[in-house]
Amino acid sequence: MTGWPGPATPGSGLPARQLVALYEGLQLQSQLRDGSDLLAGWDRAVARMRAGWGAVALV
């Protein structure tokens, strides 16, 4: 697995892996913590990821 996860280039699959990890983490939190707002957490995290992906694309 040399270079994994590698750069976030189009077709690299890195954004997909990040979204799956986010989903699984939020799902776990919802099972362990009462009153967690999954949708709000998802929206905040995805907005930050998209901003990060955009910054990488500009470099």
Domain boundaries, the chain: 14-58
What Rg, from alpha-carbon coordinates, does the chain have? 14
Q: Which two tokens stand for residue 40?
A: 């709000």
pTM exceeds 0.75: no
How many residues are given for the chain? Answer: 59
pLDDT surpassing 80 at residue 4: no
Phi-psi region of 2 (alpha: psi -120 to 50; beta: other; left: phi over 0): beta
- Integer CA distances (angstroms), 22 to 36, 43, 49, 54, in order: 14, 11, 10, 18
Per-residue pLDDT tens over the stretch 5-58: 555 555 678 888 889 999 999 999 889 988 888 899 899 999 998 888 777 655
